[in-house]
Structure 1
Amino acid sequence: MDNTQSKSAFSNFINNKILPPVMKFVNTKPVKALQDGMVYALPFIIIGSVFLILSNIPIPAVAAAMKASGWAAFFNQAYTVTFGIMALWAAVGIAYVYVRNEGYEALPAGLTSMATFLLLQTLNIANPLVGAMGKAGTGITNAAGKTVMSGTAVAANIDKLPHALQGFLTSPVTGVINITWLGGQGMIAAILCGILVGWAYSAMIRKGWKITLPEQVPSSVANQFTAMIPAGVILIVAMLIYAAFSAFGNTDVLQLIYKLLQTPLQGLSDSFGGAVIIAFLVPFFWFFGVHGGLIMGGITSGILIPNTFDNAALYKAGKLTIAQGAHVVTNEFYNNFINLTGSGITLGLVVFTLVAAHSVQFKTIGKIEFVPALFNINEPFLFGLPIVMNPFLAIPFFLTPVIVAASTYLVIRFGIVPPLNGFAAPWTTPAIISGFLIGGWKMAIWQTITLLMSVGIYFPFAKKYDAILTKQEHDKAVAEAAAGNAEAAK
C-alpha cells in the first residue's frame, strides 16, 4: 500500500509540478514557431545530403572518377544550395510559421526574415588566395582536385609582385554573400532572426501599422502594401544594428552570436552528459503521456542540426575524424540511436512479444507493432500496451536509450566506429539501413549491436510483466467460466 501511495505521490508531483511549466514553455509562440518552422528546412537537408554522398562516394576509385568527370562539382553545387544554406530556410520558415499562427498573411514575414538575416551579416568572403598560401595552405587545385601548385609556391610567386598588387589580390572579396553563415554556423542566428521578425511583424500588424487600400484593389496587391510598413521598420532597424556592430565592434551580429552563443551550445550538446540527458528526457516525457520526441526534437534541433552540418563539411573535405573536430552527437545521433525503432528503443519488446510472450495482450499488441517498429514508430506500444504510466516497463524504457546513447558516444569518441557523416537519413529509415547511410558498414554493425542491447534489457522486465498479464487473463477466464456455469445452473 505504501509503495502504491509513493508511486501515486511521485506521479502527482510530476504531473502537477514538473509537466505544467514544461508544457507551458513548449507551447509558447516562439517554440511552436521553431518546431514547425524547422520542418521547412528538412526536405532541403535530406535531398542535399544525398548530393553530399554522391559527390563523396566512400570508394576511392569511384570518387576519383567522379571528380575527374566533373560530376562531383555538379553534385557539390546541388548540395550547396540545399543542405548548404539550411540556416536561410530556417530563418524563412520560422518567421512564416510565427506569423501564420497569429492569423496574418505569412509569406511577406518569411521574406522579411530572409532579408534581415542577410542584412545582418558582412557581405564579403576571404580571398581564396589567403587560404592557398603558405606551408599550411591548400595550394591551387584543378577540376579533378589535384594540387597543381603548392601553398609555398603560391606564396613565393605572390611575394614577387608589387606590394600594392599583393594587397589587392589578397583583400576580401566584397559584394558577395558568405554562404558560411547560411549553413550550420548561422543556425542559432537564423532561429533568433526568424522568431524576432515573426514577433515584431505580428505586433505591428496587430497595432494597425499597415497601409490599407480600397476594397477594389486585388488582395494579392493589397497584401503587399500591408506588409510594407512592418517590413520597412524591421529592415531599417536591422540596418542600424549592422551599422553599429560594424562601426564600433568591427564585426557583425552573426559572428558574435556564433562566438558567444552557438559555439558553447554546440559544445554542450556534443558531450557525454548532453547525449545522456537528451536520451533520458525523451522517454521521461513519454512515460507521462507527453510527446517526448517532439519536445526534445524541437528544443535540440537548432543545436544538433549545425553539428550535422559541420560533420557533412568535414566529410566533404575528407577530414571526418574526431581529431579534425567532428561532432559525436548530431541530429542523426538523436534520430537513429536515441529514438531507434521509436522512443525508448522498444525493439526488445517487439522481439519478446514475437518469440516469448504468453499473454494474449502482449501477443496481440506485438503483432500490431511489428511493422511500425521497422520504421521507428512505436505508438501502439506506448498507448496500447501501454508503456505510458506503466511502472513494470519504466526501467527498461528509461534505461535502454541512455545505455545506447552513452555507449554510442564512447565508441565514436574513441574511434571504434567513425563519426556520423552528415547524411540526413529520414527518421523513418529502418534500422541498420540508416546506420549504413549515416556512417557506413561499421555504423550498421554497431546499430545492430544496439538493437541486441534493447532485447537484452527489455526481456527480463517484459517476462515479468507478461507473467502478470497471463495470470490476470487466466483469473478473468476462470471468473467468467464460473459466472457462466452459475448462470447455466439457474
Structure 2
Amino acid sequence: MNAFINWLDLHFVPIAAKIGSQKHLVAIRDAFASLMPIVLVGAFAVLLNNVFFVPWSLLAGYIGEGHSFIVWAYANIAPLFDYLSAGTLSLISLYLVFAIGYQRASSENHDALSTAVIAASSFIVVGALGNADTGNYLDAKGMFIALIVGLIASGIYMKITDNGWVIKLPDSVPPAVGKGFSAVIPGAFAIGFWGIVAYCFSAFAGQTFFVWFQTTIANSLLGLSQGIGSVLIISFLVPFLWFFGLHGANLLEAVLNPIYGQLGLNNIEMFSNGVKTVGDGLSVWVRGSWDAYVYLGGSGGTIGLVLAILFFSKVKQDKEIAKLSLPTGIFMINEPVLFGLPVVLNPIYFIPFVLNQPILAGIAYVATSVGFAGPIVNQVPWTTPPVLNAFLSTNGSIGAVIIALVNIAVAFLIYLPFVYMGNKQEEKRLAAEAGVNE
C-alpha cells in the first residue's frame, strides 16, 4: 500500500496540481466563488418562501394550503422574496459571465472592469435576452454559454490589448477616460466576434446560438451527469485528491458548478413553480446532493471516522484530535482531522476515506431515484450540519433525513475496522518501545 501511495504521489499529484492551477479553470472557480453572496441571498429568499409562505410550502403541508396564514403570506410576504430571487438567481448567468471576464483579466494584469463589461455585453449580443418563444437565458439555463462567452470574449479582449491595438491618449487625460478609450478597439473585436456568431446561427441555422447549444451540447452533458456512474466517479475523485493534500472539491469546482450547480438552480426554479418530484422533471442529483448526503462532516464523510475514534479508539492522541474535530465537523469543516490525525497520506485510512463517498452517494442516489428521499429543491449553506442540511434542502423530506442518518451510520461502520487497525498498530508501537526501553 505504501509503495502504491508513493507512486501516486510522485506521478499523479503533480498532474492534478497542474490541472488545478490552469488559468481558465481558476477563473471559472473564482468566478463562482465571487457569486456566493448573490446565490445565497437568492437561495435564502426561495428557501423562506418554500418553507413558509407559498401554497406548496413545507408549512402549508402541515396546516393546509387554504389556511388563512398561507393565503395572506402568499399575497403579502412571498412577493418580497420573489423580488430578491428575480434580482439574483434569475440573472445568475449574466453575473457569471461578468465575473469570469473580471477574474480572467485580473489574474493576467489587464483592465478587469472593462473586460468584464465587454464579456457581459458579448453575452447579450449573442442572444441571452432570447425572444417570446425561447425565453431569456439570463438564469441558470444560460450558465454553460456564460462560461464559453466569458472565456472567449475576455481572451479576445486581452489578446488585442497585448498586441497594442488600442487608442492611446495623452497623459494629461484623466486615467478613467484613458482606460475607456483603450478598451474601444479590443472591445469592438470581442463584441463583434459574438455578433457574427449570432448572425451566422440566425441566418444559416434558423435558430439562435443559445437554442442550438442547449439542444445539441448542454442537454447531453446535463443528461450524462444524472447517470449514477458520473455521480460515483466524482464522489470518488474528491476524496482521492484530498488524500494527497489537494482540495478535491475546489479542484473539481470548475466542473461541478457549471453542470450540477445549474441543475440545482433549475430544481429551485421548478419547485418554486410547483414541480415537486423527480418524476415531474426535477433532477435526481445536483450540487447540493453531496452536501446533504455525502460530505457528512466534510469530504470523505469523516463524521463517521470522528465518531468511530471517539467510541472505539485506544490511541489517546487520536481521541484528542477527534474531540477537537467534532465541533468543526458538525459544520462540515474537517481539516483538523484530515491533517491532524492525519488522514492525508495515511495508508491506514486510504481505503475507507476514498471508497466511503461513492457508497454514500450510491445510497442517496437510489433513494432519491425511487422517491424515498425528496430531491434537492433548496440551496442551503454548505456549512449546515448533517441531517439538518438534508431536511432543509429537500424542503422537509423525512426520507431525506432518514437517508442522511443511514449514511452517517454507514460511514461509521466503514471506518470502524480501520480504527481497530490503528489500535493494533499503536499496540505494536508501544510494545516495541517497551522492548527498547528494557
Residue 314 of structure 2 is aligned to residue 358 of structure 1: yes
Q: Distance in 2 between matches of 1:123 and 1:288?
A: 44
Give the partner amino acid of 1:66. Answer: A
Cα pair distance change 1:266/1:359, threshold 3 Å: same
| Alignment pair present for 1:64 and 2:58 | no
Residue 464 (str. 1) matches residue 421 (str. 2):
yes
> Which of 318, 326, 351 pairs up with 2:282?
326
Q: Residues of 2 paired with 1:190 and 1:239: CA distance? A: 15
Whole-angstrom CA distance in 2 between matches of 1:470 and 1:295: 38
Deviations 1:393-429 (A, max 9, x none): 11211222111100100000000011111x2212111
Given that residues 372 and 378 in structure 1 are in contact (C-alpha distance below 8 angstroms), is that contact kept between their aligned partners in structure 2?
yes
The alpha-carbon deviation at position 312 of structure 1 amounts to 0.8
Distance 1:11 1:417 in 2: 37
Residue 444 of structure 1: aligned partner: 401
Range that drifts further, 86-95 or 206-215: 206-215
User: In the alignment, is residue 280 of structure 1 matched against residue 236 of structure 2?
Assistant: yes
Tell me how many residue pairs correspond in the alignment. 423
After TM superposition, give the deviation of residue 470 of structure 1 in Å.
Answer: 4.1
Matched, 1:205 2:161: yes
Gaps of 5+ in 2: 52-56
> What amino acid maps onto 2:426 in structure 1?
L
Q: Give 1:40's match in structure 2, choosing from 34, 42, 63.
A: 34
**8 Å Cα contact 1:361-1:469 kept in structure 2:** no
Match of 2:98 in 1: 92
Show the counterpart of 1:389: 345
Structure 1 equivalent of residue 45 of structure 2: 51
1:31 pairs, out of 25, 32, 44, with 25
Partners of 1:30 and 1:89 lie apart in 2 by 17
Larger deviation, residues 288-297 vs 51-60: 51-60
Match of 2:138 in 1: 182
- 1:280–1:401: 8 Å Cα contact kept in structure 2? yes
1:223 counterpart letter in structure 2: K
Report the identity percentage: 28
Once the 2 structures are TM-superposed, how far is the Cα of residue 224 of structure 1 from its aligned partner? 1.7
Give the corresponding residue for 1:114.
Answer: 120
Does 1:73 pair with 2:53? no
Pick from 188, 194, 199 the counterpart of residue 243 of structure 1: 199
The residue aligned with 1:216 is 172
Shift in CA distance, 209/470, structure 1 to aligned 2, threshold 3 Å:
farther
Q: Cα offset for 1:326?
A: 0.8
Alignment pair present for 1:298 and 2:254:
yes
1:55–1:63 Cα contact (<8 Å) kept: no
Deviation at 1:124, TM superposition (A): 4.7
Unaligned runs of 5+ in 1: 127-171, 483-490
How large is the RMSD of aligned CA atoms in angstroms? 2.0
> 1:274-329 CA distances to partner (integer Å, 9 max, x unpaired)?
11111111111112222212112232111011110111122111112111111111
Indicate if the aligned counterparts of 1:321 and 1:418 stay in contact, CA closer than 8 A. Answer: yes
- What is the SS of the residue equivalent to 1:121? helix
Q: So what's the TM-score if we normalise by structure 1?
A: 0.82
Among 403, 428, 431, the residue aligned to 2:383 = 428
* Separation of aligned partners in 1, 2:161 and 2:216: 32
1:151-162 equivalence runs, <5 A:
none
Q: 1:311·1:320 contact (CA, 8 Å) conserved in 2?
A: no
CA distance in 2, matches of 1:122, 1:449: 43
Q: Which residue of 2 aligns with 1:454?
A: 411
- Residue 477 of structure 1, CA deviation: 6.0
Q: Within 5 Å, give how 1:309-320 maps onto structure 2.
A: 309-320=265-276
Q: Which amino acid aligns with 2:323?
A: K
Go from structure 1 to structure 2 and tell me whether the alpha carbon gap of 1:56 and 1:230 turns closer, same or farther (over 3 Å shift).
same
**Is this contact kept in 2: 1:41–1:90, CA < 8 A?**
yes
Q: Answer yes or no: is the 8 Å Cα contact 1:87–1:183 preserved in 2.
A: yes
1: CA distance between counterparts of 2:422 and 2:10?
A: 28
Q: Answer yes or no: is 1:378 the counterpart of 2:334.
A: yes
Secondary structure at 1:332 match in 2: helix
C-alpha distance in 2 between matches for 1:55 and 1:370 = 32
**Whole-angstrom CA distance in 2 between matches of 1:100 and 1:397:** 37
Q: In the aligned structure 2, how far is the partner of 1:32 from the partner of 1:92?
A: 15
TM-score (norm 2): 0.91
The residue type equivalent to 1:56 in the other structure is N
Q: 1:268, CA displacement in angstroms?
A: 1.2
Larger radius of gyration: 1
Distance, in Å, in 2 between the alignment partners of 1:12 and 1:415 is 43
Would you say the 8 A contact 2:201–2:207 is kept in 1? yes
Q: Which residue of 2 aligns with 1:22?
A: 16
Instruction: Note the C-alpha offset of 1:42.
Output: 2.0
